[in-house]
């Protein structure tokens, strides 16, 4: 790696000035002449047959340009795609609008296009739908029982797919065990709640047959490919633009009904059409996350050695698959070993259809579930064996010299030093003192809890998912960087510029990073799985390296010396031993552009691209420690301290890494404390607005103390691991472990999330003074 001056520096973001002035352009800010506003009529029933739809009154209303029902356009648009490599996968046809039957509250049944947004909304009220309600199932475990209502008649068992894996001698492990520790764990459904709801704008130019779709998406290039199939359009007549995107967290890593529907309307009506999701639609009809109910059991020796692990989990899929729905539960299975040496692991996933919105990737996507399982389990084992939870963890860590470390789930962790992150966190928390303080306070009827979570996660997707980057130097010397990653808040306009500035020796302000437009960036995958920097950043780095080599070739021609006689330092190519005779990248680009008699083997311009596909995933890790005090009178949880020591390998911009962690931790604590998507047994969504779905607020969050260790990955040349999801993954078990620890004197070994005051208060009343045991 070259000597760098910007990589590793706390550089302010290039993105910010326009966003802070209110000049960022999100989908709803794009205005086109003649635009029509689209509204979607959604099912109020969780499961019902559509007997009839009468849209005449809506069609006749002034200002209404078109109304289409699901039945009318049934065969005009392809089904919503899903991807997974699983032979047991059952894929019910998932149409952009329901034709004959609705399977969840919020499923679209008709669409209106109108001259203004108010008229479109008014028209929805005029559409008469005659529903015949059907029996509903919302509980995934009940859905898999023989007497459950059937959601898709082709598959009466409601099984969406199954997946199992077993490595090591599981039966032997449980035979040799001194103890078997079991725990049932619920990962409640969550709503991602990107602050910008989804939105789509589509424009068709009939003359050139070009369709442009602006969408609030994390994956413009994947979306383009899928939309071309759904709309039966040639891909080269389709352009997808992700303008400013107001957060995603996985919820915009998808191909949604509305994206295809708006494309269809633009083609059909030959007018630009725009749909902006309302928050209440967002909570009904944008993917949910988590939704797993599992039972874990560990075979352990008295000294705390973990011999084996069994995990049986039912995943709540919802009514249909979205893009990565079937990929999430297996991800949980793969990461079950956590950061421990566990010689035998068996996983069995059963995925159940339910009358609810689909679950899919939400920040962490399968890994928070895995980390929660193993980290809660470690605390349960520690409690059972009367060991300190920290000592138990230390006992089962692989040594830093044991990497690449192979797990009994089939992964090879790239690099790690779990001991050092834990040690640093313990020191920052003052762990020994905390335990003494806890003892002292318990004597006075005050309940302090200390929760430790030592996590490892899987990042930088990865083998099978490449990313594209291109670097070009304009004749005037300015540099354009193109990336197939599609950042939406992560700040890669800045961090990619830092990488390229160091490589080419150019000023940061002379670099523009371009992304999110399939017409400008030749190809790409997108931003998800903490991959944008660890995969996309590497592609950009490699493209910059190639540009530097082109510049070397040109410089050797201009200087009339052998390329090997040139050295690059301080942004200049110099002839060895002649430091004053130098050419900058900018000068070389300019000279090449205007040169006469340039030999044919030399490039006219400095421009190169690269596609990077890592050979392995990366495995960031760390330790989070949460200290709480629980008030048994009110059930209130006060966060006294929160320490996070994270290791994401090499860091490009520490400011951005801190931001990712703080936001991620807030989301993880949100799951632990407040958030839950609740459907009643009729499939009605009880948490359908932000008045009912509790996103953490500023006053709910503690001040976090962040620190880092740095263990580079050998998987890519910059040693970067990725940091987008670590906070969410590490924090949830730290909080629940802390509260379970605080409630130990009440005989509480486990509490399911969210840890609402009511739930905690009940536990404190249920078992008064059941005796302290830690």
Handedness of CA 96, 102, 106, 110 (dihedral sign): positive
Nearest CA to 216 out of 527, 525, 488 is that of 488
User: Which of 68, 131, 249, 405 is the binder for another protein (CB under 8 A)?
Assistant: 249
Among 289, 338, 416, 489, binds another protein (CB under 8 A): 489
- Shortest spacing between CB 490 and another protein, in angstroms: 7
| By CB under 8 A, residue 20 contacts another protein | yes
| Neighbouring residues of 509: CB distance < 8 A, sequence distance ≥ 6 | none
- Is residue 624 a contact residue for another protein (CB under 8 A)? no
Nearest to another protein of 52, 689 (CB atom): 689
Based on the shown chain and the rule CB under 8 A, indicate whether residue 674 belongs to the binding site for another protein.
Answer: no
- The residue count for binding another protein (CB under 8 A) is 60
Binder of another protein out of 197, 294, 308, 622 (CB under 8 A): 197
Residue 196 interacting with another protein (CB under 8 A): yes
| Site membership for another protein, residue 659 (CB under 8 A) | yes
Which C-beta is closer to another protein: that of 168 or that of 688?
688
Chain Cα centroid distance, residue 136: 30
Q: How is residue 79 written in tokens?
A: 């089904």
Q: Which of 318, 526, 536, 664 binds another protein (CB under 8 A)?
A: 664
* Torsion on CA atoms 71, 75, 77, 81, rounded to nearest 10: 100
Q: Out of 81, 92, 106, 246, which residue is the one contacting another protein (CB under 8 A)?
A: 246
> Closest Cα partner for 154 from 101, 109, 108?
101
- Rounded to 5°, angle at Cα 452 from 774 and 616: 135
Contact set for another protein, span 23-62 (CB under 8 A): 23-26, 28-29, 62
Tell me if 490 contacts another protein by CB under 8 A: yes
The b-or-e profile of 187-207 (16+ CB within 10 A means b, else e) is bbbbbbbbebbbbbbbbbeee
Restricted to residues 297-316, the positions that interact with another protein (CB under 8 A) are none
**697 contacts another protein (rule: CB under 8 A):** yes
Least separation in angstroms between residue 17's CB and another protein is: 7
Q: Does 727 bind another protein (CB under 8 A)?
A: yes
DSSP string, 441-468: HHHTT-EEEEEEEEEE--BS--TT--EE
Tell me if 414 contacts another protein by CB under 8 A. Answer: no
Which residues 57-86 are close enough to bind another protein by CB under 8 A? 62
Q: How far is CA 774 from CA 178, 388, 608, in A?
A: 19, 8, 60
**Minimum Å distance from CB 724 to another protein?**
11
Residue 59 and residue 110 in contact, taking contact as beta carbons nearer than 8 Å: no
Q: 347 is written with which tokens? A: 């996983």
Peptide bond connecting 404 to the previous residue in cis, omega within 30 degrees of 0: yes
Q: Which stretch binds another protein (CB under 8 A): 174-182, 289-297, 690-698, 742-750?
A: 690-698
Q: How far apart are CA 554 and CA 603, in angstroms?
A: 8
Mask for 274-293, x = binds another protein (CB under 8 A) = --x-xxx-------------
Q: Is the dihedral of CA 182, 366, 249, 470 positive or negative?
A: positive
Q: Which two tokens stand for residue 612?
A: 């990077």
Interaction between residue 514 and another protein (CB under 8 A): no
The verdict on 687 binding another protein (CB under 8 A) reads: no
Determine if 247 is a binding residue for another protein (CB under 8 A).
yes
- Residue 656 touching another protein (CB under 8 A): yes
Which is nearer to another protein, 29 or 629 (by Cβ)? Answer: 29
Cβ proximity to another protein: between 16 and 100 the closer is: 16
CA gap 756, 752 in Å, rounded: 10
The one among 206, 596, 599, 699 contacting another protein by CB under 8 A: 699
**In DSSP terms, which residues pair with 185 in a beta bridge?**
294
* Min dist. Cβ of residue 378 to another protein (A): 25
CB of 657 to another protein, least distance (A): 10
Tell me the two tokens of residue 650: 């090499």
Specify the residue for token string 């998808």. 254
655 binds another protein (CB under 8 A): yes
Question: Does residue 3 belong to the site contacting another protein (CB under 8 A)?
Answer: no
Helix (H) or strand (E) run with residue 17 in it: helix 16-20
Site of interaction with another protein (CB under 8 A):
12-13, 15-17, 19-26, 28-29, 62, 117-118, 122, 193-197, 244-247, 249, 276, 278-280, 488-491, 655-656, 658-659, 661-667, 689-691, 695-699, 701, 703-704, 727
């Amino acid at each position: 790696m070259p000597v760098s001056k910007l990589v590793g520096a706390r550089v302010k973001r290039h993105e910010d000035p326009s966003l802070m002035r209110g000049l960022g352009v999100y989908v709803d800010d794009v205005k086109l002449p003649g635009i029509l506003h689209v509204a979607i009529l959604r099912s109020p029933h969780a499961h019902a047959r559509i007997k009839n739809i009468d849209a005449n009154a809506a069609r006749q209303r002034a200002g209404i340009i078109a109304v289409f029902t699901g039945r009318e356009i049934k065969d005009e648009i392809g089904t919503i795609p899903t991807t997974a490599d699983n032979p047991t996968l059952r894929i019910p046809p998932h149409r952009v609008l329901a034709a004959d039957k609705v399977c969840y509250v919020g499923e679209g049944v008709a669409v209106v296009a109108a001259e203004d947004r108010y008229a479109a909304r008014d028209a929805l009220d005029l559409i008469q739908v005659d529903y015949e309600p059907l029996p509903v199932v919302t509980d995934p475990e009940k859905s898999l029982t023989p007497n459950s209502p059937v959601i898709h008649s082709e598959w009466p068992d409601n099984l969406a797919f199954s997946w199992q894996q077993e490595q090591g001698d599981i039966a032997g492990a449980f035979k040799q065990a001194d103890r078997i520790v079991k725990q049932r764990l619920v990962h409640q459904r969550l709503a991602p709640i990107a602050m910008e709801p989804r939105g789509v704008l589509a424009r068709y130019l009939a003359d050139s047959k070009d369709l442009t779709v602006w969408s609030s998406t994390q994956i413009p290039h994947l979306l383009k490919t899928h939309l071309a199939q759904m709309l039966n359009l040639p891909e080269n007549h389709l352009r997808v633009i992700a303008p400013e995107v107001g957060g995603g967290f996985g919820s915009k890593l998808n191909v949604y009904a509305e994206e295809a529907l708006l494309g269809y309307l633009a083609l059909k009506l030959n007018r630009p059409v725009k749909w902006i999701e309302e928050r209440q639609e967002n909570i009904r009809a944008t993917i949910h996350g988590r939704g797993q109910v599992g039972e874990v059991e560990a075979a352990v020796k008295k000294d705390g050695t973990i011999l084996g692990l069994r995990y049986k989990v039912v995943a709540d899929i919802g009514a249909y698959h979205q893009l990565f729905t079937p990929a999430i539960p297996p991800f949980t299975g793969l990461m079950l070993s956590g950061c421990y040496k566990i010689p035998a692991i068996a996983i069995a996933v059963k995925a159940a259809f339910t009358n609810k919105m689909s679950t899919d990737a939400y920040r962490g996507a399968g890994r928070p579930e895995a980390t929660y399982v193993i980290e809660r389990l470690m605390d349960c084992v520690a409690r059972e064996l009367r060991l300190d939870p920290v000592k138990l963890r230390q006992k089962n860590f692989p040594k830093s010299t044991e990497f690449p470390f192979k797990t009994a789930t089939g992964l090879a962790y790239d690099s790690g030093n779990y001991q050092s992150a834990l040690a640093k966190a313990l020191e920052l928390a003052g762990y020994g003192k905390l335990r003494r303080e806890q003892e002292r306070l318990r004597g006075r009827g005050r309940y302090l809890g200390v929760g430790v979570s030592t996590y490892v996660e899987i990042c930088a997707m990865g083998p099978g998912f490449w990313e594209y980057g291109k670097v070009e130097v304009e004749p005037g010397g300015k540099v354009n960087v193109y990336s197939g990653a599609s950042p939406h808040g992560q700040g890669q306009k800045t961090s990619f510029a830092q990488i390229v500035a160091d490589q080419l020796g150019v000023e940061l302000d002379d670099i523009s990073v371009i992304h999110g437009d399939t017409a400008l960036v030749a190809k790409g995958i997108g931003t998800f799985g903490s991959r944008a920097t660890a995969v996309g950043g590497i592609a950009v780095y490699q493209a910059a390296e190639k540009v530097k080599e082109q510049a070397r070739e040109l410089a050797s021609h201009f200087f009339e010396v052998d390329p090997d006689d040139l050295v690059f330092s301080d942004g200049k190519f110099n002839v060895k031993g002649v430091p004053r005779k130098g050419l900058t990248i900018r000068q070389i680009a300019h000279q090449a552009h205007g040169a006469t008699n340039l030999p044919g083997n030399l490039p006219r311009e400095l421009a190169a691209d690269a596609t990077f596909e890592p050979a392995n995933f990366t495995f960031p890790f760390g330790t989070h420690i949460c200290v709480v005090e629980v008030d048994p009178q009110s059930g209130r949880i006060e966060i006294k301290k929160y320490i996070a020591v994270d290791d994401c390998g090499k860091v490009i911009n520490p400011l951005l890494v801190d931001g990712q962690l703080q936001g991620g931790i807030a989301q993880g604590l949100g799951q632990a404390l407040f958030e839950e998507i609740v459907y009643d047994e009729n499939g009605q969504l009880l948490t359908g607005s932000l008045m009912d779905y509790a996103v953490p607020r500023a006053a709910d969050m503690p001040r976090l103390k962040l620190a880092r260790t740095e263990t580079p990955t050998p998987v890519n040349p910059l040693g970067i691991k990725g940091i987008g999801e670590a906070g969410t993954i590490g924090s949830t078990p730290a909080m629940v472990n802390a509260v379970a620890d605080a409630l130990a004197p009440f005989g509480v070994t486990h509490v399911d999330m969210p840890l609402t005051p009511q739930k905690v208060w009940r536990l404190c009343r249920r078992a008064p003074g059941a005796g302290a045991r830690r």
